[in-house]
Amino acid sequence: MRPMASSIHPTAVLYPNVLLGADVAIGEYAVIGVSLRGVDVGSEATIVGDGAVIRSHTVIYAGNTIGARLQTGHGAMIRECNRIGDDVSIGTHAVIEHHVDIGNGVRVHSGAFIPEYSLLEDEVWIGPNAVFTNTLHPRCPKAKECLRGPRVRRGAKIGANCTLLPDIEIGEFALVGAGCVVTRDVPPRAVVTGNPARVLKSVEELDCPYGLIESPYTDALNRTITEQP
């Protein structure tokens, strides 16, 4: 079922039970609806909403539910059974493993790795080559029974080349500086830097070095206050 798909390249592969919204563009050699080994092809639906742009060599496994206006870079990988909201961007060679929850307006930059059982709430921003982890004790016989990825709360931003350890929480609108190794929870609106990452200041204290705006995040923080009951 491919209603009004505006452009599907002839080299793209769509497996059975792939359900595309309107005006979807799929590039060269993209593969949509791959089933897991040992699972019948097409047994799980793969849903991609309206207006998606899926660029060349992207691979999307079966069982994903993806909202409107997805954008992928070249060679992005999205494994099975994720829930992905509207207006999400997943960059070139980024990897989203299975059973990840991604909210609306999330941007995952090129080369990032998001493992299974991670959570990215609305408007989260993940910098290039950021690496999340979800295994507390690799090679432990019980390792797969306690996989827990990081939880990144609404509006938080993770800088380039960061590493986040398993089962930690990044608070709303927090900012994790480039190259950090985050070993513990980060409070909401905190700015953290270093290895291990430590609180440096709050996002309210940030200013624009070019004088273009009073505060880079004033509007977002004010919206949060207004939205609260």
Indicate which residues carry an active-site annotation: 137
- List Cβ neighbours of 105 (8 Å cut-off, separation of 6 or more): 85, 86, 87, 88, 122, 123
Cα separation, 22 vs 130, in Å, equals: 32
- In the DSSP assignment, the letter for residue 61 is E
- List Cβ neighbours of 211 (8 Å cut-off, separation of 6 or more): none
Strands 59-61 and 163-164: unpaired
Q: How many CB atoms lie within 10 A of CB 211?
A: 7
- List Cβ neighbours of 49 (8 Å cut-off, separation of 6 or more): 21, 66, 67, 68, 69, 70, 86
- Quick check: 130 and 113 in contact, CB under 8 A? yes
- List Cβ neighbours of 220 (8 Å cut-off, separation of 6 or more): 123, 155, 173
